[in-house]
Amino acid sequence: MKISQLGEKKLIRRLLKKRDEKLPNTHPMIIQSYHDDAAIQPNTTKYTTLSTDMLIEHTHFPKKMTPYDMGAKSVCVNVSDIIAMNSKPESILISLGLPPTMSIDEFDNLIDGILDTCEKYDITLIGGDLNTSDEIIISATSVGISDGNIKFLNNIQKNNLIAVTGKLGSPAAAYDLIYHEDADIPEIEKQEIIDSFIKPTIPYDTFKFLHKHPKLIMAMTDITDGLAVELGHLHDNNNGYGFKINKELIPYNKYIKQVAKRNNKKLNDYLLHFGEEFELLLILDENEYIKYKDQLEDITVIGYVNCDDKITILENNGKEFEVKTQGYEHLSGEK
């Protein structure tokens, strides 16, 4: 059966039924607002943090992505922006543009991806909209809360540490594995690399620890547009400061070097200029980092802040080069 055979009202009722089954611990005021003109979000803290993203099928969803993966990614993208401000994610609104030819099973899988990921990150789907589109479009707005320890981009100091969560470069390698040249690497490693692109996750457990220890963080952002671009954003917001990155310290899956070589690319292209990692780029206070280092297994220090007013990479051979802050940008061509 196609979704066009059910129509908007029955699809919404179907969605709400699934939502209530998967996310039962919802604030009574939110439940009361379900069928009203607007959603309710209890205001229990000093600040509310908001972020919105639109994902379009032909641009943001690789061909191996299932409807479930698409729904999951739409939540990850938005929650990632909230935690990058050191705010606690609370809720999300999601509007869907769907082709009438979509099957009910595909619709259910899409909604399951959204709701399972909401449950994973302890947030509630509080509202949205549903309309017809030629392709799948998911536009979401996430809501976070903060008592005041919000982390902006413009609070760094000389000798602060530069760090990242997780591993970088795998989504870029996955893109080439899916669309261009395959590589002779172990299947388990290949699937892990591909999953980093089609089944993205965010470092939520690490965020929860950082959130409890705000003095650790001077500034942070998520790495959605490539490490070079995100470093550039930090540089633009901190006049006079520079960053020195030791490439040898950047964490990555060793097999992406083979994928890069197979596709006539450099490892730096993957590590610096692609993005889609949804990891955190952190500027840390050195003394606080030393205090908690043993509890920060997912965090890797890759450099430090100086006063050179530029971004430089120290290569494995000891040579340095200044980074060009290129990466993905909408309305300006392809990656």
* Domain end residue (candidates: 120, 146, 172): 146
Give this prediction's pTM: 0.92
Assign residue 85 the CATH number of its domain: 3.30.1330.10
* Domain end residue (candidates: 104, 121, 146): 146
Range of the domain at 96: 3-146
What's the confidence (pLDDT) of residue 335?
A: 44
Tell me the mean pLDDT in the region 133-153. Answer: 95
What's the confidence (pLDDT) of residue 41?
A: 80
Residue 333 in domain: no
Helix residue ranges per DSSP H, 6-50: 8-22, 28-32
Instruction: Judge if 122 and 179 occupy the same domain.
Output: no
Query: Would you say residue 157 has pLDDT above 60?
Result: yes
Residue 327 in domain: no
Residue 55 in domain: yes
Residue 294 in domain: yes
Tell me the mean pLDDT in the region 207-215. Answer: 97
Q: Which residues are annotated as a binding site for ATP?
A: 128-129, 224
Instruction: Judge if 165 and 295 occupy the same domain.
Output: yes
Between CA 308 and CA 303 the distance in angstroms is 14
Q: pLDDT band at 326, cuts 50/70/90? A: low
Q: Which residues are annotated as a binding site?
A: 37, 51-53, 60, 81, 128-129, 222, 224-225, 276, 328
Q: Which residues are annotated as a binding site for Mg(2+)?
A: 37, 51-53, 81, 129, 222, 225
Query: Would you say residue 118 has pLDDT above 80?
Result: yes
Residue percentage of the chain with pLDDT more than 70: 96
Q: Which residues are annotated as a binding site for substrate?
A: 60, 276, 328
Between residues 148 and 289, which one has the greater pLDDT? 289
Query: What does the mean pLDDT of the chain come to?
Result: 92
Question: Tens digits of per-residue pLDDT, 167-177?
Answer: 999 999 999 99
Number of domains the chain is built from: 2
Instruction: Judge if 177 and 291 occupy the same domain.
Output: yes
Q: Integer distance in angstroms from the first to the last C-alpha of the chain?
A: 37
Amino acid at 322: E
Between CA 11 and CA 251 the distance in angstroms is 44
Range with the poorest average pLDDT among 23-27, 76-80, 155-159, 329-333? 329-333
- Token pair 């669309």 is found at 179
* Domain end residue (candidates: 88, 115, 146): 146
CA distances from 93 to 24, 97, 110 (A): 17, 14, 15
Residue 152 in domain: no
What's the confidence (pLDDT) of residue 329?
A: 54
